[in-house]
């Protein structure tokens, strides 16, 4: 049985529907991310799990118990806020021990537990400091320790790293995941940063405008996006407009140039579709026999560290293809304005209709 | 002018080019300091110097300060301090409750706007008009006095109750009229500054609303609460016009002693008058100093 | 050291009016909410009773409104003292502006290290209550090199000087927060690149942008000056405060009428400040006891 379950949860604010038909079954110890842009409802859903908002419809169950209408201070879930929300009038130790103090645990038990947690989050000698004396990253670790101190059933994190510098963010997220694994605690992590979500989670829920767009492992979400939104939100993506030539054999044209998709797809001849193509699938040059080829002019070459990103414009006002090449010393870079051919395999792209999601992910995986 | 001034002013300021630039900037602030020196610092310095001088011979002495232990003066300090303490505590307590009531107490939101606007005006309402207004209300012929006597049979000024507006108690009631609003105006933003996340975090950690107030909210507000009460103390300590209008100087207050000294050398000892004035300045300075210190702490916390 | 940001910190007043738009946990269930209502009502009674009483007293003289007629028509001292105080108030505002604006500007732009000293000086008027200030001024200028207390004009100088000092905390705070809201560095550089000198920059670029802050500080100063008693009476000035005080000792009903008139004016000034503040997020200032 799943440990944390949201069944058909909906949240309305007056006329606006903030969250619609949210369904999730998370196992014990699982790390689930809610990923999406601002306003997509991910934080509202998290707050409903925490008890700060009440669902208009649906139920929330933790470890078999229906907590939908339970007061937030009785739910035994630990929450880490985006702004840390450390109590400024208390030391780090008092902050961490607050949950235990409220539960009337004996003083020495609290002291021991606080010391334990300070070790876990790697701040062993900061117990007597005050929050304002710590850096952002340190404060966030204290917030994490505080949420874990009373051994909650579920850990909730609301964009905990968004206020921090990039380098600290990367280091801290690994720490968070390591601690989570070590403790085996069921975790929900809200973020708008897809890199965070993909690198940390067992599963990702991609949300947009209150709806769940897709639920799946990071691998599934990235490689088999079920809707155009997911495809474009996660990772860099080429979304090229295509015109259907012959759907059953996978023929279509992009900017007038013929292209064949390995799998057949649905569509009437002459209809418009979107072709989703990852930059790493596209290569410079004509590629092996049987590859799809497109010709265009180089409009930009940019260095992204280990990768060189080349933009090729298909036609005057045509769409741009973005392709990534590994940055090697032997790489011969094209000039701006040079006409080049780029290629991608026939089974590379996904054909999407932005309005309706394509076949289910399971079918896609089965066919891959 | 060398390059050094430019480096000095580097933090957050335009680089000062050597020469004319630098002195022009100083020119901008000199009038301000000069004016303050001429009409505030130096005159008070005269008082300070005079307080250490023997009024007749001009020789340096601390006798004036020793003379402050004269019973009249001690009584005046006592009364001033008592009134200031009472109005600070009562004003602080009830002012805080008022601010809390309109912000977190579940009242219609318009009440808060009304209270804030009114407080902005009322905290400025002191001195002669205030004293007059209370005379019209609770004075011997006052509206409320008459109302209570005619309709409820309560004779405020009668022997049984023996109330009088022109006493310590009366003055305290009047002073509260500008103390409450001051407290409200300063506490409201502080209460506002209580972040929603703190309440949520405390709930999330298992605390009840009462525990939240006990362990988190009130402690966070305490520096502001205390600091403002001390400000209220100083506010009341330095008030003169209201007391004078109300009591014509019949209540021993430090400010009234000083004003009596100004109008006619009642002490026959100008040095004593100076010492009295400086004593008051010291009290005010300590009060404002403590307030400033507490304000810094509360700002740090509420900003976090 | 950053100076203590001080004053009766009423910057909250308008900020709190505006932030009341932010959703707050609507607290108070049952008993809590009743308590809030009781507190509020007690507050309302306490605050309104004196005002109602004053109004009632002012109308008691028959025929209706006679007290007002006596004051407005038959009492030349009313108009003359009010005009005198208004005049002094305006001069105070002008001088205070001329002193504060350049100071606040340069402190912000060029001399941030001077800020603590400037803020300290603007705090001193709280430490030196009016009665002590006037005492000091009288002693300092009643003889010696600058005997201002012997001539009428000299006393006028002193009273303006005292009010300017009194206005410092409010004017500085108002103007400083007004300057904080605009990017004076960029404006100055832009003006300089177009060839403007300091005077023009202050006059044409800075001043218009802190107009609202300035007006709010100005109105507060005006309200303080008109109502002020202690300094005006000890410097023997024919100002509104001493006039009202005298009236209060001599007459019964006319003082009430004058009080109502002066409330009206004060509240008008405060109302204008609040109105201006609402549209531009400036702060309301607070005067202390007098």
**pLDDT of amino acid B304:** 61
B128: Cα separation from own chain's centroid: 18
Q: Which residues pair with A313 in a beta bridge?
A: A297, A320
Please tell me which residue of chain C has the smallest CA distance to B187: C12
Structural domains of chain B ordered from first start? 4-51 (no CATH), 63-302 (1.10.3720.10)
Ranked by mean pLDDT, the top range of A45-54, B21-30, C137-146, C255-264 is: A45-54
Distance from C-alpha of C192 to C-alpha of C190, rounded to nearest angstrom: 5
> Quick one: average pLDDT of C197-218?
80
Share of chain C above pLDDT 90, in %: 25
Q: Which residues pair with B27 in a beta bridge?
A: none
Confidence of residue A43 (pLDDT cuts 50, 70, 90): very high
**pLDDT of amino acid A61:** 93
Q: Give A105: exposed, middle or buried? Use CB within 10 Å, 0-12, 13-18, 19+.
A: middle
C-beta separation of A207 from A34 below 8 A:
yes
Q: Which two tokens stand for residue C187?
A: 């404006």
Nearest to C40 among B50, B107, B186 (CB): B107
Instruction: Evaluate if residue A86 carries a pLDDT over 60.
Output: yes
Please tell me which residue of chain A has the smallest CA distance to B203: A73
Q: Alpha carbon of C94 to those of C87, C88, C197, C237: distances in Å?
A: 11, 10, 22, 20
**pLDDT of amino acid C43:** 93
Comparing A291 with A212, the larger pLDDT belongs to A212
pLDDT digit string, tens, across residues C89-141? 999 999 999 999 889 888 888 888 888 888 889 888 888 999 999 999 988 88
Instruction: Return all residues near A278 (Cβ < 8 A) that are at least 6 apart.
Output: A235, A236, A237, A238, A348
Distance from C-alpha of A95 to C-alpha of A76, rounded to nearest angstrom: 17
Task: Give DSSP secondary structure letters for A144-195.
Answer: HHHHHTT--SEEEEESTTTTS-HHHHHHHHHHHHHHHHHHT-EEEEEES-HH
Residue reference for tokens 């799809």: A292
Closest CA to B226 of B187, B178, B173, B280: B187
Residues in C closer than 8 angstroms to B186, CB to CB, are 8-10, 12
C-beta separation of C210 from C182 below 8 A:
yes
Nearest to B126 among C109, C248, C289 (CB): C289
**pLDDT of amino acid B266:** 72
C-beta separation of C61 from B138 below 8 A:
no
Nearest to B211 among A74, A102, A132 (CB): A102
Query: Closest Cα of chain B to A245: distance in Å?
Result: 56
Provide the edge-to-edge strand list for the sheet that holds A211-216: A77-80, A154-158, A186-191, A31-35, A203-208, A211-216
Confidence of residue A1 (pLDDT cuts 50, 70, 90): low
Best residue in B1, B31, B40, B208 for a mutation probing chain C (most C CBs within 10 Å): B40
Beta strands A350-352 and A272-277, pairing class: antiparallel
For residue B45, give the H/E element and its range: helix B42-51
Confidence of residue C11 (pLDDT cuts 50, 70, 90): very low
**pLDDT of amino acid A225:** 82
Instruction: Evaluate if residue C280 carries a pLDDT over 60.
Output: no
Would an 8 Å CB–CB cutoff place C178 in contact with chain B? no
Residues in A closer than 8 angstroms to B301, CB to CB, are 88-89, 132
B200–A85 C-beta distance less than 8 A = yes
Comparing C256 with C144, the larger pLDDT belongs to C256
Instruction: Evaluate if residue A356 carries a pLDDT over 50.
Output: no
pLDDT digit string, tens, across residues A210-246? 999 999 999 988 888 887 788 878 877 777 888 888 7
Residues in A closer than 8 angstroms to B204, CB to CB, are 50-51, 72-73, 75, 77-79, 147
Ranked by mean pLDDT, the top range of A269-283, B243-257, C77-91, C143-157 is: C77-91
Q: Which two tokens stand for residue C111?
A: 């001399």
Q: What's domain C82-280's superfamily in CATH? A: MetI-like (1.10.3720.10)
**pLDDT of amino acid A334:** 84
The angle formed by the CA atoms of residues C144, C145 and C147, to the nearest 5 degrees, is 70
Any contact of B with C, at least 3 CB pairs below 8 A?
A: yes
Q: Give A41: exposed, middle or buried? Use CB within 10 Å, 0-12, 13-18, 19+.
A: buried
The angle formed by the CA atoms of residues B144, B94 and B87, to the nearest 5 degrees, is 75
For residue A271, give the H/E element and its range: none
Q: pTM score > 0.90 for this model?
A: no
Instruction: Evaluate if residue A133 carries a pLDDT over 70.
Output: yes
Closest CA to A341 of A359, A328, A323, A318: A323
For residue A320, give the H/E element and its range: strand A320-326
Instruction: Evaluate if residue C209 carries a pLDDT over 70.
Output: yes
**pLDDT of amino acid C18:** 36
Instruction: Evaluate if residue C176 carries a pLDDT over 90.
Output: no
Residue reference for tokens 């896609």: A364
Distance from C-alpha of C108 to C-alpha of C115, rounded to nearest angstrom: 8
Confidence of residue C282 (pLDDT cuts 50, 70, 90): very low
B211–A132 C-beta distance less than 8 A = no
pLDDT digit string, tens, across residues C41-70? 999 999 999 989 999 888 888 788 888 888
Would an 8 Å CB–CB cutoff place C284 in contact with chain B? yes
Instruction: Evaluate if residue A146 carries a pLDDT over 50.
Output: yes
Average pLDDT along chain A? 86
Residues in A closer than 8 angstroms to B206, CB to CB, are 73-74, 76, 99, 102-103, 150
Residues in B closer than 8 angstroms to A101, CB to CB, are 215
C39–B94 C-beta distance less than 8 A = yes
Task: Give DSSP secondary structure letters for chain C.
Answer: -PPPP-SS-TTHHHHHHHHTTS-------THHHHHHHHHHHHHHHHHHHHHHHHHHHHHHSTTTTHHHHIIIII-HHHHHHHHHHHHHHHHHHHHHHHHHHHHHHHHHHT-GGGHHHHHHHHHHHHHS-HHHHHHHHHHHHSSTT--GGGSHHHHHHHHHHHHHHHHHHHHHHHHHHHHHHS-HHHHHHHHHHTT--HHHIIIIIIHHHTHHHHHHHHHHHHHHHHH--HHHHHTT---HHHHHHHHHHH-SSHHHHHHHHHHHHHHHHHHHHHHHHHHHTPPPP-----
Domains of chain C: which residue ranges?
Answer: 82-280
Q: Alpha carbon of B294 to those of B95, B301, C5: distances in Å?
A: 18, 11, 11
Rounded to two decimals, the ipTM of the complex is 0.81
**pLDDT of amino acid A345:** 86
Helices B128-138 and C31-60, interaxial angle, to 10°? 100
> Quick one: average pLDDT of C251-274?
82
B47–C165 C-beta distance less than 8 A = no
The angle formed by the CA atoms of residues B218, B222 and B223, to the nearest 5 degrees, is 150
Share of chain A above pLDDT 90, in %: 49
Query: Closest Cα of chain A to B192: distance in Å?
Result: 15
Q: What is the pLDDT along chain B (304 residues), one digit of tens a residue?
A: 343 444 444 444 455 444 455 566 677 788 999 999 999 999 999 889 888 888 778 788 888 888 888 888 899 999 999 999 999 999 999 999 999 999 988 889 889 888 888 887 787 778 888 899 999 999 888 888 888 888 888 888 887 788 888 888 999 999 999 999 989 988 988 898 888 999 999 999 999 999 999 999 999 999 989 999 998 999 899 998 899 888 887 889 999 888 888 887 777 778 888 888 999 999 999 998 898 888 888 888 877 6
A83–B195 C-beta distance less than 8 A = yes
Task: Give DSSP secondary structure letters for A57-125.
Answer: EEEEEETTEE-TT--GGGS-EEEE-TT----TTS-HHHHHHHHHHHTT--HHHHHHHHHHHHHHTT-TT
């Amino acid at each position: 049985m799943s440990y944390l379950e949201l069944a058909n949860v909906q949240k309305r604010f007056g006329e606006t529907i903030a969250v619609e038909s949210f369904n999730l079954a998370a196992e014990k110890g699982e790390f689930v991310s809610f990923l999406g842009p601002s306003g997509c409802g991910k934080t509202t859903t998290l707050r409903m799990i925490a008890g700060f908002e009440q669902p208009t419809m649906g139920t929330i169950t933790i470890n078999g118990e229906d907590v939908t209408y339970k007061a937030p201070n009785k739910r035994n879930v630990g929450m880490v806020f985006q702004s840390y929300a450390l109590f400024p009038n208390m030391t780090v130790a008092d902050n961490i021990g607050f949950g235990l103090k409220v539960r009337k645990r004996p003083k020495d038990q609290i002291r021991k537990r606080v010391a334990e947690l300070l070790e876990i989050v790697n701040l062993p000698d900061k117990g007597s400091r005050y929050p304002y004396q710590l850096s952002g990253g340190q404060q966030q670790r204290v917030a994490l320790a505080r949420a874990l101190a009373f051994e909650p059933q579920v850990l909730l994190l609301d964009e905990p790293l968004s206020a921090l510098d990039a380098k600290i963010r990367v280091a801290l997220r690994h720490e968070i995941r390591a601690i989570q694994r070590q403790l085996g605690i069921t975790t929900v992590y809200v973020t708008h940063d897809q890199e965070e979500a993909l690198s940390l989670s067992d599963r990702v829920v991609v949300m947009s405008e209150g709806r769940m767009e897709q639920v799946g492992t990071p691998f599934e979400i990235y490689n088999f996006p079920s809707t155009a939104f997911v495809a474009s939100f996660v990772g860099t993506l080429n979304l090229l407009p295509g015109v259907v030539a012959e759907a059953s054999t996978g023929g279509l044209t992009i900017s007038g140039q013929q292209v064949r998709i390995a799998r057949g797809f649905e569509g009437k001849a002459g209809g418009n579709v979107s072709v989703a193509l990852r930059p790493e699938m596209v290569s410079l040059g004509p590629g092996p026999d049987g590859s799809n080829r497109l010709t265009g002019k180089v409009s930009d070459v940019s260095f992204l560290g280990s990768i060189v990103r080349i933009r090729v414009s298909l036609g005057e006002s045509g769409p741009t293809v973005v392709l990534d090449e590994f940055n090697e010393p032997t790489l011969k870079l094209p000039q701006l304005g040079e006409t080049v051919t780029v290629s991608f395999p026939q089974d590379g792209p996904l054909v999407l209709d932005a309005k309706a999601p394509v076949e289910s992910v399971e079918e896609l995986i089965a066919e891959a | 002018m060398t390059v050094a001034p430019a480096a000095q002013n580097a933090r957050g300021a335009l680089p000062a080019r050597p020469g004319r630039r630098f002195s022009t900037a100083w020119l901008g602030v000199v009038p301000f300091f000069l004016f303050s020196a001429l009409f505030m610092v130096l005159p008070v310095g005269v008082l300070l110097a005079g307080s250490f001088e023997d009024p007749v011979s001009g020789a340096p002495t601390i006798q004036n300060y020793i003379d402050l232990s004269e019973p009249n003066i001690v009584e005046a300090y006592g009364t001033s301090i008592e009134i200031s303490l009472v109005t600070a505590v009562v004003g602080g307590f009830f002012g805080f409750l008022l601010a809390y009531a309109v912000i977190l107490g579940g009242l219609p939101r318009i009440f808060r706007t009304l209270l804030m606007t009114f407080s902005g005006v009322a905290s400025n309402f002191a001195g002669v008009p205030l004293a007059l207004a209370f005379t019209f209300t609770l004075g011997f012929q006052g509206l409320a006095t008459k109302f209570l006597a005619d309709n409820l049979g309560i004779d405020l000024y009668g022997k049984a109750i023996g109330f009088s507006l022109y006493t310590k108690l009366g003055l305290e009631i009047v002073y509260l009229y500008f103390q409450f609003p001051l407290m409200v105006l300063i506490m409201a933003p502080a209460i506002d500054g209580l972040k929603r996340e703190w309440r949520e975090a405390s709930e999330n950690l298992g605390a009840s609303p009462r525990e939240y107030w006990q362990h988190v909210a009130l402690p966070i507000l305490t520096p502001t609460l205390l600091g403002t009460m001390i400000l209220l103390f100083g506010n009341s300590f330095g008030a003169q016009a209201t007391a004078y209008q109300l009591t014509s100087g019949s209540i021993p207050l430090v400010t009234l002693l000083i004003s009596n000294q100004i109008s006619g050398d009642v002490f026959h000892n100008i040095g004593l008058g100076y010492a009295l004035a400086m004593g008051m300045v010291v009290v005010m300075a300590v009060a404002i100093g403590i307030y400033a210190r507490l304000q810094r702490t509360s700002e740090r916390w509420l900003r976090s | 050291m950053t100076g203590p940001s001080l004053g009766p910190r009423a910057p909250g007043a308008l900020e709190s009016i505006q932030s009341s738009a932010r959703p707050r946990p609507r607290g108070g269930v049952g008993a809590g909410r009743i308590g809030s209502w009781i507190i509020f009502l007690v507050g309302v009674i306490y605050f309104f009773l004196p005002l109602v009483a004053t109004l009632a007293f002012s109308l008691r003289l028959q025929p209706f409104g006679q007290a007002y007629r006596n004051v407005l028509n038959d009492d030349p001292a009313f108009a003359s003292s009010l005009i005198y105080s208004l005049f002094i108030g305006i001069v105070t505002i002008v001088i205070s502006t001329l002193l504060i604006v350049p100071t606040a500007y340069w402190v912000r732009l060029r001399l941030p290290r001077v800020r603590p000293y400037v803020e300290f000086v603007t705090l001193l008027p709280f430490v030196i209550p009016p009665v002590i200030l006037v005492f000091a001024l009288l002693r300092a200028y009643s003889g010696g090199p600058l005997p201002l207390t012997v001539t009428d004009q000299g006393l006028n100088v002193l009273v303006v000087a005292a009010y300017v000092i009194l206005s410092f905390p409010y004017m500085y705070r108002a103007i400083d927060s007004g300057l904080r809201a605009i990017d004076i560095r960029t404006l100055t550089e832009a003006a300089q690149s177009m060839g403007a000198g300091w005077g023009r920059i202050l006059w044409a670029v800075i001043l218009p942008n802190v107009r609202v802050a300035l007006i709010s500080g100005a109105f507060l100063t005006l309200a303080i000056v008109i109502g002020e008693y202690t300094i005006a009476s000890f410097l023997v000035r024919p100002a509104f405060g001493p006039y009202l005080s005298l009236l209060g000792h001599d007459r019964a009903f006319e003082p009430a009428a004058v009080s109502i008139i002066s409330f009206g004016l004060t509240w008008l000034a405060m109302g204008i400040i609040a109105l201006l503040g609402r549209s531009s997020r400036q702060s309301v200032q607070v005067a202390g006891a007098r």
